[in-house]
Each structure stands twice: as structure tokens, then as C-alpha cells.
Amino acid sequence: MLRPVLAATILTGLIGVVVAVAARLKSILPPNRAQPGRRRSPSFSPSSNVKAHPSRRLERASLDDALFDSPTYLYQHFMVVLGSGGHTAEMLLMLRTVALSKWRKRSWVVSSGDEFSASLATEFEAELQCPGSCSFDIVKLPRARKVHQSIFTTPFTSLVCLWTSLSMLSRDAPDIILTNGPGTGVIVVFASILLRFFGVDGSHRTRCVYVESLARCKTLSLSGRLLKMFVDRFLVQWPELGGGRAEFKGCLALDAAIAIGMNGIGDTEFVPLMEFLF
């Protein structure tokens, strides 16, 4: 007699837990999550230090437009997760059209051992004309997965990266987390969601923005497929990938190159290429 009653009690409890978790996730994930309070100063002007290049013949979107076309433009702590190689180069190119100097604090997250990305972020900061009240830091996280690492050991290194990310975000929750596809970025976004789930102080104001790589013109990357339903803004750079939660705001990387005066690479001219594509 006791076994059926015990089994029914356990089953009821499990169903209750599942329903509670589902309800909590629905309340903290887009599009249902509540908007945080405003924290910007009246003089804030997101695009005030962004000037288009004279050769720009088409009106283009920029990452600045995409980020600030939403409540995310109201905040003060901006966190960028850099990958390595192409991810970092593309991210820094797009960020040249963003008024980063307006942000009180900027955090650059890199994987341990990626000194090249850290040095590029430092050089990028040196070019910004920031008031004395602004600051930046370089945060190093353990790699979620090393090159050619076995799939059997990857879960353990990913857990170490997740734990470190939780510690980092709980100390000083950013207002925006921006990433464009590295594995570390996926871990950081999920760490932010985990803190939000448990109501950790400050985590409710964090907004996650994902920009799909320019190289992904037909299908989403693995990182994109993992994060599409969890981030607050999901930006793609090709119209074929738009629709649903994926927002097409223009070819952000090429737009940024044109905006800062890069006419092309080799024999390829960017403006005619953009006119041909779009």
C-alpha cells in the first residue's frame, strides 16, 4: 500500500518541480522578461562619436544602431566576449561603430592563453577618447574547450569555465553581454541566465546580445543554434537567416568597414559589393 502512495507522491513532486522551473524560465527569458529600470544620464547620445565615411553611398545599419534600438542602450557596464582569430577581428571591426566611450565601464572577456585578443582589446581601448570616469578591464576565463580536445574531457573544462563565469558575473553584473560565437561566449551567456534564474542581485538587468558571424550566410553556427532562444537580441548579417527571433540589421561587419573608411581588401571593393548583394 505504501509503495503506490510513495510513488504517486514522488511523481507529483517531480511534476511540481518541472512546472515551477518552466514557469521561472518563462519569466526570465525573452520575450516575457521584465525590463529593468533606467540608469542613463539625460545627456546620453549613443551615436554621437560615430561618423560615416564620405564614400558611404548607401544608408547602412551599424552595430550601434542594432544595440541601441532597444532598452539595452540605457545602461553603463558593457561586456564583450572575444574569441580568437576571426571572431575577435570581426567583433572589433563592428565595435568601431559603437559609442563605447559613453559607457562607464567596459569589460573584455578572453580565454586564458589568448594574449593576442587581450592585446588587441587594450589597443582598442587606447584609441578611445574616454572621460576620466570611465574604466575597462581584461577578464581571463579558462577555455571551455581547447583545440583538438577530446569530447570526453570537454564537459569538465566547460564546467570549470562556467564556475569561473558565475563568479565573475556575480561580482559585477554587466548591463550588456555581447558575443559573436566563441564557445566561451556561450558559457558566459548561460552563466548569466543561471544567475538570473536564482535571482542573484544585479543579474536581472543583464541583457545578452548575440551577433552571428558574417561567415554564416546560409545556416546558423552551433553557438547561434544554442543561444537563439535564450539571448535578448539575436542579430544576423544575411537576410536569408532573418525571421523569428533572428533580426537582420544589415551586414554589420562590412558596414563597419565602410563606415571607418576601409574601401576594400585587394581587388574587392566593399561598397559595390554591398550594392550588388543588397
Residue 199 lies in a domain: yes
pLDDT tens digits, one per residue of 104-155: 899 999 999 899 999 999 999 988 877 677 889 999 999 888 777 787 888 8
Structural domain boundaries enclosing 20: 1-31
Assess whether 86 and 193 both reside in one domain: yes
Assess whether 18 and 65 both reside in one domain: no
Residue 193 lies in a domain: yes
Assess whether 6 and 109 both reside in one domain: no
Assess whether 154 and 96 both reside in one domain: yes
Count of domains for the chain: 2
Assess whether 63 and 13 both reside in one domain: no
Assess whether 75 and 199 both reside in one domain: yes
Assess whether 145 and 213 both reside in one domain: yes
Cis bond upstream, residue 272 (ω within 30): no
Residue 132 lies in a domain: yes
Assess whether 128 and 162 both reside in one domain: yes
List phi, psi (to 5°) of 203: -70, -20
Residues 86 and 76: their CA atoms lie apart, in Å, by 27
Residues 183 and 201: their CA atoms lie apart, in Å, by 26
Residue 45 lies in a domain: no
pLDDT for the residue numbered 223: 93
Assess whether 267 and 143 both reside in one domain: yes
Residue 46 lies in a domain: no
Assess whether 64 and 15 both reside in one domain: no
Assess whether 172 and 143 both reside in one domain: yes
pLDDT for the residue numbered 34: 66
| Mean pLDDT confidence for 183-210 | 93
Residues 45 and 73: their CA atoms lie apart, in Å, by 9
- Cell 548591463 belongs to 175
| Mean pLDDT confidence for 242-265 | 77
Assess whether 71 and 163 both reside in one domain: yes
